[in-house]
Homo-oligomer: A and B are copies of this chain.
């Protein structure tokens, strides 16, 4: 996987190492394809102590490899940085907290980007990115 190359290099460039645990975390997040909470990351996995998981997620975040997203339920979520996965959005269930990745049509995305750029410029904001999430009830929660 080219992903690990990238990761190793980025860490090395600041004197850090791409250890087994770090690779493992990257794998977990890559495989999941959705933002995971720490409990979800750790649950059912051996030799992945909480403190190490937290520390390494933070490490990977400052290396720009993963992104931490605050969430309403008290548990932050972690996902691969968009630089690695491509830009995307989220569809989240406000009842059960489930999150899934979502891509929106490129034309809309482009228009969004253009418009937001203008608005940001007007407000004197620099280097803007956006975050767009859908919040609703998933099939399971919606049918109750």
Contact = CB atoms under 8 A, between A and B. Distances in A.
A111 B105 CA distance: 12
A12 interface: no
A43 interface: no
Interface in A102-144: 102, 104-105, 108, 111-112, 115-116, 119-120, 123-139, 142
Given A108-B111, A108-B112, A137 B126 contact: yes
A72 interface: yes
A3 interface: no
Given A68-B72, A93-B125, A134 B119 contact: yes
A71 interface: yes
Interface of A: 68, 70-72, 91, 93, 100, 102, 104-105, 108, 111-112, 115-116, 119-120, 123-139, 142
Contacts of A104: 115-116, 119
Question: How many copies make up the complex?
Answer: 2
Contacts of A111: 108, 111
Contacts of A139: 124-126
Given A72-B68, A105-B115, A108-B115, A134 B128 contact: yes
Given A142-B125, A142-B127, A134 B115 contact: no
Contacts of A108: 111-112, 115
Contacts of A68: 72
